[in-house]
Amino acid sequence: MYKIIFIGIAIGVASLIILAFVLYMMVPYRFVYQPINVAYVLEESYSFLLGAVLEELMFRGFLLVVFARLLGWRIGLLIMALPFGLYHIAGGLSMIVSTTLFSFVFGLSFVLTRSLWAAIFAHATANILLHLITGLDGGSNSVYKLVLDGNWPVNYAVGLLTSVISALVTSVVLYVIILGKRHFNNSEIEHPKRRSPLEHRKKQILAKNPK
């Protein structure tokens, strides 16, 4: 359990490191600490975690599992990406595109670990770091404020481009790791293991009469 949570957190951290690096290559910047209420940080962190739990239960925990068992996990990931992006339509086109691509990050986290906890903590960690800690989203209610050391490009959408690159790179790395795992074709997402009545009875007997 703890290992799965750690993997999820690591994936969320990695995606934000990539995003921060790509952004710095486009526009040099620095982080400036700004005092912020600890209670606010804890409250917002809880809110991000709860939101991640609800979204992952709906999109990966239920719908992805259904489509994966019917069509395979790869097709399931493709089908689920756009609905997840449209779920964030209130944030505008850029939000739709970035969340559509990050749907692959969270979905692949689930596929890799076969645990929804990895997707939940990858999702929550990415949101907390982006919006609440680093201020890389451009907001002001964060522990650190982003101060630019150069001019913000106006001929292309820097924020969207960095999100796209981060999501793509993270997704590719996760996909390669998944393909490298041995016996992955027996994925429990597509084909959950079912114990036969004889195996179940044998387990009961062994539990009552341990050697």
CB proximity list for 108: less than 8 A, separation 6 or greater:
77, 171, 174, 175, 178
pTM: 0.84
Q: Is the pLDDT of residue 86 over 90?
A: yes
pLDDT value of residue 69: 92
As a whole number of angstroms, the distance between CA 135 and CA 33 comes to 10
pLDDT value of residue 1: 82
- What's the rounded mean pLDDT across residues 45-53? 96
H or E segment and range at residue 144 = strand 144-148
Q: Is the pLDDT of residue 189 over 70?
A: no
pLDDT band at 62 (very low <50, low <70, confident <90, very high): very high
pLDDT value of residue 182: 57
- Locate tokens 């097709």: which residue? 75
Query: What type of residue sits at position 210?
Result: P
* Partners of 31 in the β-ladder: 146
pLDDT digits (tens, 9 = 90+) for 1-29: 889 999 999 999 999 999 999 999 999 99
Residue 73 · residue 142 · CB < 8 Å: no
- Interaxial angle between packed helices 73-86 and 93-113, expressed in degrees from 0 to 180 and rounded to the nearest 10: 150
pLDDT value of residue 191: 57
Query: Which region among 64-68, 140-144, 199-203 has the lowest average model confidence (pLDDT)?
Result: 199-203
pLDDT value of residue 80: 92
pLDDT digits (tens, 9 = 90+) for 102-156: 999 999 999 999 999 999 999 999 999 999 999 998 888 899 998 988 888 777 7
As a whole number of angstroms, the distance between CA 86 and CA 80 comes to 10
